[in-house]
Amino acid sequence: KQEVTQIPAALSVPEGENLVLNCSFTDSAIYNLQWFRQDPGKGLTSLLLIQSSQREQTSGRLNASLDKSSGRSTLYIAASQPGDSATYLCAVIRGSYQLTFGKGTKLSVIP
């Protein structure tokens, strides 16, 4: 059974700092990995999708990497802003479009 772990569970950083969120998974036979953002009381917003043949994806200040062999992905956020405060979830996608989520990392960016 696929297990997805996100460390740390919570993170607080001062505005402007660069930061890395971690996601690890136990079964490397995945198709894709997707990072989401969830604001309080809201649904999930897709940030980046990394296909299994790719090693990274970038969107603005966000960069996500994928290392299938080690079962790890990282989400790098550059020059963090208070508006980045949210819970970040990663989900691994394998056969039959099955998503398995981690519990998320709650990020607080302090002005």
Structure tokens that stand for 27 in this block: 């079964």
List interacting residues with another protein (CB under 8 A): 4, 31-32, 34, 36, 41-46, 49, 51, 89, 91, 93, 96-99, 101-104
Nearer residue to another protein within complex by CB, 16 or 42: 42
Kindly state the smallest distance separating residue 15's Cβ from another protein, in Å: 26
Nearer residue to another protein within complex by CB, 8 or 16: 8
Nearer residue to another protein within complex by CB, 12 or 18: 12
Nearer residue to another protein within complex by CB, 41 or 111: 41
Kindly state the smallest distance separating residue 58's Cβ from another protein, in Å: 15
Where residue 83 falls (left for φ over 0; alpha for ψ -120 to 50; beta otherwise) is: alpha
Where residue 82 falls (left for φ over 0; alpha for ψ -120 to 50; beta otherwise) is: alpha
Kindly state the smallest distance separating residue 16's Cβ from another protein, in Å: 28
Kindly state the smallest distance separating residue 74's Cβ from another protein, in Å: 18
Query: Residue 87 CB: number of other CB atoms within 10 A?
Result: 19
Structure tokens that stand for 100 in this block: 């398995």
Query: CA geometry: angle at 7 spanning 1 and 33, to 5°?
Result: 55
